[in-house]
Amino acid sequence: MKNIVTLLVTLLLVSVTLAACAVPAQSPVGTTGETATPTELAPEIATPTIEAGSNLAGTLWTLDSYRNSEGKLVNVLPDTKTTLEFKEDKVGGNAGCNTYFASYKIDGNGLTIGVAGATRMLCRTPQNVMGQEKAYLTALHNAASYRMKGSKLDILNGDGETLLRFSALEPAPLTGTTWQLTGYNNGMGGFASVLRGTEITALFDAKGRLSGKAGCNNYSASYEINGEALSISAAVATRMACLRPDGIMKQERAYLSMLQSVAAYRIKGDSLELLDASGTRLALYTAQARTGTVSPLPSHAKGNS
**pLDDT winner (highest mean) among 49-53, 227-231, 269-273:** 227-231
Confidence of residue 187 (pLDDT cuts 50, 70, 90): confident
For 194-231, write each residue's pLDDT tens digit.
999 999 999 999 999 999 999 999 999 999 999 999 99
For 76-95, write each residue's pLDDT tens digit.
999 899 999 998 889 999 99
In the predicted structure, residue 35 carries a pLDDT above the cut 50: no
Distances from the Cα of 280 to the Cαs of 230, 265, 274, 275, 290, in angstroms?
14, 11, 8, 5, 27
CB 133 within 8 A of CB 97: yes
Confidence of residue 58 (pLDDT cuts 50, 70, 90): confident
Phi, psi at 248, each rounded to 5°: -65, -40
In the predicted structure, residue 299 carries a pLDDT above the cut 90: no
Average pLDDT value for the chain: 81
Q: Give the residue-averaged pLDDT of 248-273.
A: 95
Q: Give the C-alpha separation, 208 to 187, whole Å.
A: 26
The residue with greater pLDDT, 120 or 14, is 120
- Collapsing DSSP states into helix, strand and coil, what is residue 259? helix
Confidence of residue 186 (pLDDT cuts 50, 70, 90): confident
Q: Give the residue-averaged pLDDT of 51-74.
A: 81
User: From 2.60.40.420, 3.40.50.10210, 3.40.1800.10, 2.40.128.270, which CATH number describes the 178-287 domain?
Assistant: 2.40.128.270
Taking alpha carbons only, the member of 243, 224, 221, 247 closest to residue 301 is 221
Taking alpha carbons only, the member of 305, 282, 285, 287 closest to residue 295 is 305
**Which residue intervals of the chain bear CATH 2.40.128.270?**
60-169, 178-287
Q: Give the residue-averaged pLDDT of 252-261.
A: 96
CB 90 within 8 A of CB 102: yes
Which amino acid, residue 183? G
Mean pLDDT is lowest, of 97-106, 126-135, 182-191, for: 182-191
Share of the chain above pLDDT 70, in %: 76
In the predicted structure, residue 22 carries a pLDDT above the cut 90: no
Distances from the Cα of 48 to the Cαs of 42, 102, 110, 115, 150, in angstroms?
17, 17, 10, 20, 21
Other C-beta atoms closer than 10 Å to the C-beta of 6 total 10
Q: Give the C-alpha separation, 200 to 251, whole Å.
A: 10
For 132-167, write each residue's pLDDT tens digit.
999 999 999 999 999 999 899 999 999 999 999 999
CATH code for 60-169?
Answer: 2.40.128.270
pTM: 0.60
Residue 143's pLDDT is 97
Which amino acid, residue 265? Y
